[in-house]
Chain A
């Protein structure tokens, strides 16, 4: 269960990092191209730390098996094995959608990793400590952009409204609790995401208000049938993996 939990954290970081890196070389202005690439790098770095930890735990548990590496976990699993939330595998869309997705997730990740600072698993706590400085910056950067776009021009405001409409239905999944998250919370090494929702809502709405955007409302809509955390993804993930895993799949067993 611990490895499932770690892999979930890692998959979130990897998939968002991968999406962000699609902007590298194509950003709206050089400074921001650099900034978003930097966030991509932070997230991929976090995913590596988490995959490495998951791999080492898995290898300890099953010494009789061929040892697993970070790259096995990233490159040799199928879409239904991935546990990232559906929000993060969404196509980048325009800068507004990319910003809003980053803002929603970073706000969530900050609360989650703040809890993980107290994880009983000292290695996970150490990763949380290292990552949280990065996440604070991601929150700051993305909040500033939410404000700029929400309160910028009519066009940027409209684009933010579109982004809200597209992404809001995918937010609830962040706060649904899976079996392995519950086990992690009960075991004292992880956190129950449902407990983070009130703080998230307050922080997010404070920014949305400053940005002159409609607040996020937690309407009791019919539950989203997709559940990335349980491996039930949108169709987008398959294409991400087809691209990302291509070399490892085409030339099995090679060193790169």
Chain B
């Protein structure tokens, strides 16, 4: 009889999905809970910088699209919290970890949205980087995660196109609009490049994650791919990426790029980004202000003795 470990390793080897009821190593479960809940939190916190512009969107069409986009992110959060629950941790527990500061979320959302062009830049660069990261996750070894990613990726690519289209419109507009467009790219470019995480040699969880086929490509591989794509797309906008060292390299068939400011990266990760406090405070406020609503719904459901559709 093969052992649990052997069956598990064999499935990983043969690209058979691991399902919630299957035996799995405790470290695999932990790694997934950490990664998936972080991902869920990122979707939810990510609603804030963009939601910031819903009431100021410049046309009715843009307003509707932006609400729909932010609503999609809420949906992504939901799928991911549900997928994480299959690993034996409740949504409430996971959310508590976010609110207590124990769990992290993507640092990119700790940057402020200062102009309308930021909504375009987020769509193009942030959703763009997310897609780069997430498309390979559609083949992640854990079934519920892979399936959630398939649904999510479809919507993210829609978001990316919308973001690019916002920037394209600005890039063809007035001088002020062009300036707004370039300024947003200047501010979002490096934080987006950092979204792929630390360089491979200083990424502690990467190796296990690759071995278990959760991750398929290293941080640096994905980052390079992203830069190669954006360096071409930015030409369509007639704008520049803020990197004087960005240059096509015939030999490597990739773009060379400048130094990443890792000090800034770790600073934001460790809570000192421009909006870390505001983002967490907004999530806490929503949670606390909503407590009486959730209690009322639960009390009502108990009274009526039927299961309520809200939680």
Query: Could you tell me which A residues sit within 8 Å of B by CB distance?
Result: 14, 18, 21-22, 24-34, 37-38, 40-41, 44-45, 47-48, 51, 70-71, 74-75, 94-95, 147-149, 151-153, 155-156, 159, 240, 243-244, 246-248, 251, 253-256
Contact = CB atoms under 8 A, between A and B. Distances in A.
Interface residues of B, number: 52
Given A74-B60, A247-B116, A25 B51 contact: yes
Interface stretch (B10-18, B61-69, B131-139, B247-255): B61-69
Contacts of A247: 56-58, 116
Given A25-B286, A243-B55, 10 more contacts: A29-B293, A33-B74, A75-B58, A149-B300, A153-B299, A159-B292, A247-B58, A247-B116, A248-B59, A256-B170
21 contacts: A25-B286, A26-B285, A28-B291, A28-B293, A29-B293, A29-B297, A30-B44, A30-B77, A30-B81, A34-B71, A44-B63, A74-B60, A75-B59, A152-B296, A152-B300, A156-B292, A156-B293, A243-B55, A247-B57, A248-B59, A255-B173
Contact of A155 (B68, B169, B296): B296
B68 A41 contact: yes
Contacts of A254: 58, 173-174, 176-177
Given A24-B70, A26-B285, A152 B295 contact: yes
List the 10 shortest-distance A-B pairs measured between CB atoms, nearest first.
A28-B290, A152-B296, A156-B296, A25-B51, A28-B293, A256-B58, A25-B47, A247-B58, A148-B300, A37-B71
Interface in B29-51: 44, 47-48, 51
Q: Tell which of A21, A74, A75, A155 has the most Cβ of chain B within 10 Å.
A: A21
Contacts of A74: 60
Nearest to A149: B296
A37 B300 contact: no
A41 B300 contact: no
A37 B74 contact: yes
Nearest to B78: A30
B67 A41 contact: yes
Contacts of A40: 67
Q: Tell which of A22, A48, A148, A149 has the most Cβ of chain B within 10 Å.
A: A148
The prevalent SS among residues of B at the interface is: helix
B52 to A, nearest CB: 9
Contact of A24 (B51, B56, B296, B310): B51
A33 to B, nearest CB: 5
B292 A153 contact: yes
A26 B282 contact: yes
A158 B57 CA distance: 36
Interface string B207-242: 000000000000000000000000000000000000
B292 A27 contact: no
A27 B75 CA distance: 13
Given A29-B311, A31-B311, A152-B299, A21 B78 contact: no
B245 interface: no
Nearest to B54: A21
Given A29-B294, A48-B64, A147 B300 contact: yes
Contacts of B27: none
Contacts, number: 147
Nearest to A211: B300
A51 B174 CA distance: 26
A243 B56 contact: yes
Nearest to A33: B74
B230 to A, nearest CB: 23
Nearest to A14: B60
Contacts of B26: none
Contact of B289 (A28, A31, A38): A28
Interface string B265-306: 000000000000000001001100111111111011001000
Contacts of A251: 174, 176-177
Contacts of A95: 289-290, 293
Nearest to A250: B176
A223 B170 CA distance: 48
A213 to B, nearest CB: 13
A247 B297 CA distance: 39
Contacts of A240: 55
A21 B62 CA distance: 13
B125 to A, nearest CB: 19
A151 B177 contact: no
B296 A31 contact: no
A50 to B, nearest CB: 11
A44 B67 contact: yes
Given A255-B169, A256-B59, A24 B71 contact: yes
A48 B71 CA distance: 19
Contacts of A34: 71, 74-75, 78
Contacts of B68: 41
A232 to B, nearest CB: 24
